Amino acid sequence: MKTKKIALFGGSFNPIHNHHIKMANYVLEKNVADEVWIVPCKNHAFNKNLAPANHRINMINLAFDNPKIKINKVEIESEETNYTIDTIRKLKKQYSHEFYWIIGSDVLYEMEEEWYGLPELFKETEFIIFNRNNYLIHPLQNMKIKSILEIKTNNESSTEIRDRVKHRESLKNLVQLSIEEYIIKNKLYQK
């Protein structure tokens, strides 16, 4: 089997929003990877309250119509708390692909303090970093960078979307209409 370059896009996707979608598509547009695998977490490492995994997966499926963007359920199907280092190692055991991990430049500011197994992670993978407004890119020691990408963003956040749902406000320009309809139909994020 041919070795592919796979960009792994991990997160809670609670819910997936337009900026996530732009990022995944942009990695492919710029030929940084052959495929993007969306890797939703089952339980958040920092104990955030998440919508049930099946709903988050359904919304991710609504978000993409591209055979090169796939969902990988390695974390969803795991019983333990998932750390990025464990996810990368599991995928490397299963596949002979080259794996990269997508992050926003805002994440660089929390990695050193909050990410488990960082020295090992830096040995295992390279990073695709998206420049986010107001967060300068400062690569961490021993971090290997595959690519730095920049796209225009409205700084959408899943937190803002959940707050808008609670207050019955429009999600226009934040999520696709099909996702907004799904959230309303399934009464997600209302409490």
Q: Give residue-wise pLDDT tens across range 156-188.
A: 789 999 999 999 999 999 999 999 999 999 999
Residue 67, phi then psi, degrees to nearest 5: -65, -15
* Predicted local confidence at residue 47, as pLDDT: 55
Residues of the chain with pLDDT under 50: none
Per-residue model confidence (pLDDT) at position 63? 97
- Per DSSP, the three-state class of 70 is strand
> What pTM value is reported for the model?
0.93
Domains of the chain by range and CATH? 5-151 (3.40.50.620)
pLDDT of residue 48: 67
| The pLDDT of residue 46 | 55
Name the nearest CA neighbour of 49 among 188, 167, 156, 182.
188
In this predicted structure, what is the pLDDT of residue 185? 97
pLDDT at 171: 95
Backbone phi and psi for residue 54, each to the nearest 5 degrees, phi listed first: -60, -35
For residue 61, count CB atoms less than 10 angstroms from its CB and return exposed for 0-12, middle for 13-18, buried for 19 or more: middle
Which residues of the chain form beta strands (DSSP E)? 5-11, 35-40, 69-71, 98-104, 126-130, 145-149
